Amino acid sequence: MRTEAPAAAPPLSPPAPAPARHRVPAFVVWLPVVHAAADVTTNYFPAGVANTGSARAVVVAVFLLYFLTRRITFPRSTLPLAVFLGYVLLRSLMSTDPGRSLSDFSKVLLSMSMLVVGFHYIRTLEAFQRLNRATLAAAFLVLAQFAVAQVFKLGESVYVDDSVYLGGALASTAYYLSAAVVLTPVLLPSYRRRAGRVLAALVLGLAVLAMVVLLKRAALAGALLGFLTYILVAGRWGRAARYAAVAGTLLVVSSPVYLPVLMPRVEVRFSEKQSIERQARYRETLVVRDEFLDRGFKHAVVGTEMFNFAQYYGVDRQLHIDFNILLHGGGLAAVLLYLWLALSVLREHGRYYALGRRFPYARELRGVFLALLALALVVSFSYSITLLGYRSVLFLYLGALLRLQSVLARAAAPPSPSPPPPPRGAPLPPGGPARRFQPALP
């Protein structure tokens, strides 16, 4: 029996719909909303299992256990990811306070596992657009909680008393807004109707305004660097100019409302002594460096007290820079394994670099992928490695973008010629003709 070769996909066509057995669970698509809902309400509840943050972690862990029972499609970077997580787990178990260390390790495990989840499930344009709409809904949820907190003066007022209230949210929820702003080039096209795109643009504009008022420097700098990275990689100067014009107009028009609140915060934030020697992150880097040089070969290679710096040294402040956390807790081994993972992800992404010449949408994916990495680089200076919500969304998107580019690469590949039929009377190959000539599904 002779079968015809599958026809090549048109250059601009979206990936084919997934087969029924590969339907994306709604929970995966709505993960950004699940994490945002937990992070903006966690301070309304006491610490413990009843806390929304802890309950969210349990739910995600149960889902991952179910996910492991599936027939998983793994990205090429799975091996360095598994080795890195295994090593960090081993070092956490050797801590003098393993409960504390394992608690932080669980956040790292649950968030970084989303790289595989995104790669396995988000394999079609439809699934990607659903994820984009959920991410915008998560940003709206963060903004809504922020607005309610200002009206009723809920939660903590940071930097200045009776100024900007966080409500039940963690300060790190600003990174959801940064991620949404960086994802703007793929979020807006996820809405087919003009009204949907206008509402999405309004939410993203308000996200920029909220980041300015919150004055979270890592969120602002990360969003700016990420957006600039997108412009340089994707080359969408005209589109970027329109986005910047909309955001700038919104900031100017609304300035009478937020400037009286913002200026006192700016004065307090930047009137403090800013000498680099007095900056906590600089001081912690000096401490980690001295420990690395003075405590001997074993500490330099495998580190001491993973995720347990504050308790071990009897200080009030945990290490805030991800590099310092890995170097002090896991030594050079942890840093090199993390670098191996990063290079593996970049190498996997680089395999699809030439797609931008044939698929305009591939340039969008490539630009957003590197923009997210730029955002992650900046946020890594603000103790991001244990942020379960933000990093789950980050790795979910990195996995999804890698998979979509691989799907486009298959669509761009020329069809292979059909193999000749076996000679008459020859035995069939194992599995019969259907298995022998069945084309691979994407």
Residue 205, helix vs strand vs coil: helix
- What average pLDDT does the structure give for the chain? 86
So what's the pLDDT on residue 432? Answer: 43
Specify the pLDDT at position 210: 95
Across 100-114, 265-279, 340-354, least confident range: 265-279
Distances (CA, A) of 252 to 105, 207, 259: 43, 15, 10
Q: In whole angstroms, what is the distance from residue 276 CA to residue 182 CA? A: 29
Q: What percent of the chain has pLDDT over 70?
A: 85
pLDDT at 13 over 70: no
Tell me the one-letter amino acid at 149.
Answer: A
Do 404 and 128 touch, CB atoms closer than 8 A?
yes
pLDDT score at 275 = 45
pLDDT at 437 over 70: no
Tokens 């403090």, residue? 272
CA 153 – CA 47 distance, rounded (Å):
21
CB atoms within 10 A of CB 136: 25
CB contact at 8 A, 262 and 160: no
Lowest mean pLDDT across 130-144, 218-232, 301-315, 422-436 = 422-436
Cα separation, 208 vs 7, in Å, equals 45
Residues paired with residue 165 on neighbouring β-strands, in sequence order: 157
Rounded mean pLDDT, 307-327: 82
Interval 357-368: pLDDT, tens? 777 888 899 999
Q: Report how far apart, in Å, the C-alpha atoms of 122 and of each of 119, 146, 159, 282, 411 are.
A: 6, 30, 40, 40, 16
DSSP string, 127-173: HHHHHHHHHHHHHHHHHHHHHHHHHHT-S-B-SSTTS-B-TT--GGG
- 187-216 pLDDT per residue, tens: 999 999 999 999 999 999 999 999 999 988
**Which residue bears the tokens 């989303």?**
114
* pLDDT(16) > 50: no
The rounded distance, in Å, linking the Cα atoms of 429 and 431 is 6
Residue 254 tokens read as 């609304």
Of the listed ranges 113-127, 267-281, 287-301, 362-376, the least confidently predicted one is: 267-281
Query: Which range (46-55, 118-127, 373-382, 419-428) has the least confidence?
Result: 419-428
Distance of alpha carbon 367 from alpha carbon 125, whole angstroms = 17
**Does residue 431 have a pLDDT over 60?**
no
DSSP state of 278: G
pLDDT at position 267 over 90: no
Tens of pLDDT, residues 325-346: 999 999 999 999 999 999 999 9
pLDDT confidence of residue 19: 44
Class of residue 126 by CB neighbours under 10 A (exposed 0-12, middle 13-18, buried 19+)? middle
Confidence of residue 181 (pLDDT cuts 50, 70, 90): very high
**Whole-angstrom distance, CA of residue 178 vs CA of residue 216:** 10
Give the mean model confidence (pLDDT) for residues 77-99.
96
pTM for the structure as a whole: 0.88
> What are 157's strand-pairing partners?
165
Q: Which two tokens stand for residue 43?
A: 């301070």
Residues whose CB is less than 8 angstroms from the CB of residue 388 and which lie 6 or more positions away in sequence, other chains included? 35, 53, 56, 57, 60, 107, 110, 111
Percent of the chain clearing pLDDT 90 (strictly above): 65
The whole-number pLDDT of residue 354 equals: 77
Query: What is each CA distance from 378 to 108, 219, 381, in whole angstroms?
Result: 18, 8, 6
User: What are phi and psi for residue 272, nearest 5 degrees?
Assistant: -65, 155
Average pLDDT over residues 68-75: 94
Closest CA to 179 of 132, 110, 214: 132
Contact yes or no for 300/58 (Cβ under 8 A): no
Which residues in 416-440 are b (16+ Cβ under 10 Å) and which e? eeeeeeeeeeeeeeeeeeeeeeeee
- Answer for the pair 190, 129: CB distance below 8 angstroms, yes or no: yes
How high is the pLDDT of residue 277? 42
| pLDDT, tens digit, 9 for 90 and up, residues 101-125 | 999 999 999 999 999 999 999 999 9
pLDDT at position 422: 60
